[in-house]
Structure 1
Amino acid sequence: MVGFVMLVHTALDRASQTARHWASSGCPVVIHCDKNVDRKTYIRLTDSLKDLDNVSFAPRYHCEWGTWNIVAATQRAAEMMLEKHPEVSHVYLASGSCLPLRPVQELKAYLKARPRTDFIESVTIEDVTWTKGGFDSERFTLRFPFSWKKQRFLFDRYVALQRLVRFKRKIPKGLVPHLGSQWWCLSRRTLEAILTDPDRPLYDRYFKRVWIPDESYFQSIVRVYSSDVESRSLTLSKFDFQGKPHIFYDDHLQLLRRSDCFVARKIWPQANRLYASFLSNDPKVTKNAEPNPSKIDRLFAKAVDRRTRGRTGLYMQSRFPNRDWENGKTSEPYSVFEGFSELFSNFETWLGKAAGGRVHGHLFSADRVEFAGGETVYNGGLSDSALLRDHNPEAFLTSLIWNTRGERQMFQFGPADSQKIEWLIATDPKAQISVITGAWAIGLFKLGINSSVVRKEAARLQAIEAEHLRTLRSPHAKARVRIWSLAEFIEDPMNNLQTIMDDIMPGARRRITAAPLMHDLTGFGRFLQTLKNQGMNPYLAGDFPVDPELVPTSADPQRPYLVKK
């Protein structure tokens, strides 16, 4: 025979419903109702069960999370159970939010086959992995007389004081501290030994100042008396990454059935379908299976991973305010081209045909977002407004990549663009960045103007690009980066473009047969020399001859170099 001790404090109508289910199945029930519940509500609870002679109510305690009174209430209710019901062989501790998942007769048979087994999660401090933002060994060696929830200032100051003076409590002799779930099922023999122990006053006095004693009192003392401890709970209870319990709703019905556990918590009080489905003793649903919550652990682990990491490149409310909480900066590989549209007149059209992706212009130009095809609104409702983009340029790019999953995005970038995005692309492993340094000078050259204004603009653009290159070469950079000077690139444009295509489509082995149309650079070397003569050295463009010959010759031309992190 199994008896149930229930600790209730809210949703008393559901607690009454569950208690009636157990009592009607021949199991005695002792209920402790938190004294914080008003008397009128408490009387409604007692009246709803007064027709059942195997339901009793224990003296009430004011219970607060993490305090001793939760243990005291459990002790008193368990004592009543043992005194009033000598036929009980096991006592099952449950809460008002618990829900039986299997017929009571199946639980009775399971425990009858294991008359001396105590089912209680009981793990030494060294092996605990689930404590979140709390204390491990210190919960047993410091004193905690103040409420963590209501007296946080005093709680924190008193802990700090004890650490400062190196205060350390003495653990009772023969007691090894253990932690575990509050919800257990103990044999009568073990529970009687704990409650009638001559050393109980010593243990009670010690645990009154332990932090969250309901997770350690029975879990530790059971090791003194039990000869057969199953360190697991028969109650399905899952917690998220912050240590808060998962709440089960109606759509978890099939999930709960798969667990094979006898009881689950916490159940949402309005989960009418769950209560209607499980509060029955229909022999048709009997499984005779070993409780195995690990069958659904994979789903909970996936839920925790989705909650804490999310999908790659998707920014969600739970992690958005926290930098570096993202699971990958972007969701798909993408390519950034710097200096190519300045060197080639039809580069974007050529690239779209050669690579097969979506080729944009300068997405971060000062005037507007240059979406492919001149679109003003793009996937995901992204506007071409530079003002909206610059409000959060990182969110703009990550949204663009997320909303175009399955299609490689490629865009132009340069020193005349907004540079706020450079650290994102430099540190993004999914970014492939190809740079022709100094190509910005071609735009100034095509103006056909030689003046101090052009010189100042050239100096400004070169300074911006030099700083950008330092970012790309940073030890924190993770993007795949290839850098050529303008002079180096035009020495062998076909092979250089082929290298880029191989990066975009690895393994495709597609050879390009035609290059994009290069701008006429006749006189470009003289333009660079003019800038030098005016006191500005355009060194990022490389070494261009002053004579009309465009392509410099070299017996040993420099090869492009790969910056790989």
Structure 2
Amino acid sequence: MTVGFVMLVDAALERAAQVARHWAESGCPVVIHVDAEVTKRSYDAFRRDLADLETLEFVETRRRCEWGSWDSVAATMDGAEMMLDAFPDVRHVYLATGACLPLRPVAELQTHLAGRPHTDFIESATVESVDWSKGGFDRERFTFRSPLSSRKQGSLFDRVVRLQRRSGRTRQVPEGLVPHRGSPWWCLTRSTLSALLQDPRRREYEDFFRSVQAPDQSYFQTLVRKYAWRVESRSLTLSKLDYQGRSQTFYDDHLQLLRRSDCFVARKIWPLAERLYSNLLSNDPGVTQNAEPDPGKIDRLFNQAIERRTRGRPGLYMQSRFPLQKRENGESSGSYSVFEGFDDLFDDFEAWLSKTTGNRVHGHLYGPGCAEFAGGEAIFNGGLSDSAAIRDYNPCAFLRNLVWNTRGERQCFMFGPSDNQDITDFIAGDRNAQISVITGTWAIRLFRQKEAPEAVRKEAARLQRIEQEHVRILGADWAKARIRIWPLAEFIEAPMDNLQCILDEIGPRGARRLTEAPRLTDLTGFGRFLQELKNEGMAIHLAGEFSVGRDPTPIVPDSPRRLVVK
């Protein structure tokens, strides 16, 4: 009593020969089907290489086994028929490919199957419970005709499906069959295969499945339910799918990962994975594990790899794989803070914030002249230039790069209505952004300039329109950033409390009670200035209400903290 291998080979014939010889010399009969796409010269050389093996046969009828075609099922049945006829001692037939590689000694597989003589190992799940279909449909795979390849004739295939849906014409599943789907790599008992191949309705079933999409994933999976005495709905072969539904290729650095799965065979193996072939093509008892195959032990790693492959790392953008808008894995790679209006209200605010929090604090990164990096640097981490022209070519990418190149260190920068506003949508929609806004502080800068009233009024109107639109976007229902907005008049009523709330989020030193206050700029006469603007016809409202003649007082850090409930 032994196990026989049916191999479907279409490429890397040298590797396929190595694996076939390993199985044959370990006492397992092998039947090989070579794809019709393989040239006669290569095919003849392949046969000569294995001619000395008495328990190895070739299927004479060569078929062109394209992905998802009926020919792959027909070639499998040709091989299974030859296996059952030529090797009467075979009690289990194991389906493999030329890209498969044994992971455990053959003796372990033989022992495992000998203890389960009436068990068929094949993943077989009802259509309703399968959730791994990629780019197709479910029950319609059986009720519609699919004469075309969904991969090679995608657009025409979709048109045929739409036409059948509109017409409402479907076909019936053969009586007595319940459609099942699953992995095409199985190990079936001799009795099940014999019943399947000798069934008097075989022609009817073949005619039906010939026009089912991907019949190699449904033909045996459905019919085994009719003949099997006991079905273990799992495969003994480790075969993983990538995010596109294609088979995952294993390389040399997957050696330990493959062994951890405890599966008996893995596919598909990179032909140049010399380390895998040299280590696994042996019957070394030292690697005997006597464990149940459990590919689930490495599923977590594969899921993480697929997640990394499809979504990338948060905030990392590559020229070769730039994601579609709104399909990124996060706008940026780390937390950062945006302060709007604080440098107008407080003197030397950047230095105070850097000293208080220990974070890197920049000036106006999006200022009209240049990017004001901390310390006045002209070139920042990652080769970022302070050139406004280079920065404004892609303002959002500039900020992404800044945050990515300083991972582990929180970045803070100033922003205002005079800066490039193209990043407003970006920072508003970024979960990593902390945005603190004091509206109307641009009026303080105008107050200091002492220019002609008419020029001040026009500039004030321009800045207010910009800030009003900026605030509107920050307040949108789709905004994900942590946003706080105060009118100027409201903020200076309790500046220490408001600063404490902001710094508590930044940490790590921000969690402590503030003992040193930033120096409030001299606002003597600022209330009168705002009133003069109103007298000139300027409807200023973002700064809040300031009483004429009542100017803000300097900040006193030790004053009792007031709690403001909004």
Short-chain TM bin = over 0.9
TM-score (norm 1): 0.95
Question: Which runs of 5 or more structure 1 residues have no equivalent in the other structure?
Answer: 553-557
User: How big is the shift at 1:81?
Assistant: 0.6
Q: Distance in 2 between matches of 1:332 and 1:148?
A: 41
What does residue 271 of structure 2 align with? 269
What does residue 465 of structure 1 align with? 467
What does residue 104 of structure 1 align with? 106
Structure 1 residues 51 and 394: alpha-carbon distance in aligned structure 2, compared to 1, 3 A threshold: same
Q: Which of 336, 345, 349 is the matching residue for 2:351?
A: 349
Cα displacement string for residues 503-551 of structure 1 (whole angstroms, at most 9, x for unaligned residues): 3238964222232222222222232222222222221111123336456
Structure 1 residues 465 and 201: alpha-carbon distance in aligned structure 2, compared to 1, 3 A threshold: same
The more displaced of 129-138 and 229-238 is 129-138
Q: How does 1:150-299 map to 2 (within 5 A)?
A: 150-299=152-301
What does residue 557 of structure 2 align with? none
What does residue 476 of structure 1 align with? 478
The more displaced of 321-330 and 373-382 is 321-330
Which amino acid counterpart does residue 19 of structure 2 have in structure 1? Answer: T
What does residue 2 of structure 1 align with? 3
What SS is found at the alignment partner of 1:513? coil
Which amino acid counterpart does residue 353 of structure 2 have in structure 1? Answer: L
Is contact 1:482–1:560 with CA below 8 Å preserved after alignment? no
Query: How large is the RMSD of aligned CA atoms in angstroms?
Result: 1.9
Structure 1 residues 158 and 494: alpha-carbon distance in aligned structure 2, compared to 1, 3 A threshold: closer
Cα displacement string for residues 426-485 of structure 1 (whole angstroms, at most 9, x for unaligned residues): 122222211111101111111111243322211111000001111111111222222221
Q: Distance in 1 between matches of 2:461 and 2:295?
A: 67
Structure 1 residues 561 and 363: alpha-carbon distance in aligned structure 2, compared to 1, 3 A threshold: farther
What does residue 53 of structure 1 align with? 54
1:26 maps to 2:22: no
Structure 1 residues 75 and 400: alpha-carbon distance in aligned structure 2, compared to 1, 3 A threshold: same
Which amino acid counterpart does residue 71 of structure 1 have in structure 2? Answer: V
Which amino acid counterpart does residue 369 of structure 1 have in structure 2? Answer: A
Cα displacement string for residues 225-244 of structure 1 (whole angstroms, at most 9, x for unaligned residues): 10110101111001112212
Q: Distance in 2 between matches of 1:37 and 1:468?
A: 64
Structure 1 residues 559 and 464: alpha-carbon distance in aligned structure 2, compared to 1, 3 A threshold: farther
User: How big is the shift at 1:208?
Assistant: 0.4
Is contact 2:379–2:386 with CA below 8 Å preserved after alignment? yes
The more displaced of 261-270 and 149-158 is 149-158
Q: Distance in 1 between matches of 2:540 and 2:151?
A: 65
What does residue 396 of structure 1 align with? 398
The more displaced of 468-477 and 169-178 is 468-477
What does residue 97 of structure 2 align with? 95
Q: Distance in 2 between matches of 1:240 and 1:64?
A: 19
Q: Distance in 2 between matches of 1:504 and 1:9?
A: 59
Q: Distance in 2 between matches of 1:499 and 1:194?
A: 73
What SS is found at the alignment partner of 2:421? coil
Q: Which of 493, 499, 502 is the matching residue for 1:491?
A: 493
Q: Distance in 2 between matches of 1:66 and 1:282?
A: 37
What does residue 555 of structure 1 align with? none
1:428 maps to 2:430: yes
> What is the aligned residue count?
557
TM-score (norm 2): 0.95
Structure 1 residues 83 and 509: alpha-carbon distance in aligned structure 2, compared to 1, 3 A threshold: closer
What SS is found at the alignment partner of 2:338? strand
What does residue 42 of structure 2 align with? 41
Is contact 1:319–1:325 with CA below 8 Å preserved after alignment? no
Is contact 1:308–1:319 with CA below 8 Å preserved after alignment? no
Q: Distance in 2 between matches of 1:506 and 1:17?
A: 60
User: How big is the shift at 1:406?
Assistant: 2.2
Which amino acid counterpart does residue 171 of structure 2 have in structure 1? Answer: R
Q: Distance in 2 between matches of 1:320 and 1:147?
A: 30
Q: Distance in 2 between matches of 1:521 and 1:284?
A: 82
Q: Distance in 2 between matches of 1:400 and 1:8?
A: 51
Which amino acid counterpart does residue 38 of structure 1 have in structure 2? Answer: T
Which amino acid counterpart does residue 183 of structure 2 have in structure 1? Answer: S
User: How big is the shift at 1:323?
Assistant: 2.0
What does residue 322 of structure 1 align with? 324
Cα displacement string for residues 95-138 of structure 1 (whole angstroms, at most 9, x for unaligned residues): 01000111112211111111111000101111101111112111
User: How big is the shift at 1:280?
Assistant: 1.2
What SS is found at the alignment partner of 1:491? coil
Cα displacement string for residues 368-401 of structure 1 (whole angstroms, at most 9, x for unaligned residues): 1111111111122211112222222222212222
Structure 1 residues 561 and 343: alpha-carbon distance in aligned structure 2, compared to 1, 3 A threshold: farther
What does residue 87 of structure 2 align with? 85
Which amino acid counterpart does residue 23 of structure 1 have in structure 2? Answer: A
Q: Distance in 1 between matches of 2:564 and 2:9?
A: 72
Structure 1 residues 236 and 148: alpha-carbon distance in aligned structure 2, compared to 1, 3 A threshold: same
Is contact 2:357–2:509 with CA below 8 Å preserved after alignment? no
User: How big is the shift at 1:405?
Assistant: 2.2
Which amino acid counterpart does residue 27 of structure 1 have in structure 2? Answer: C
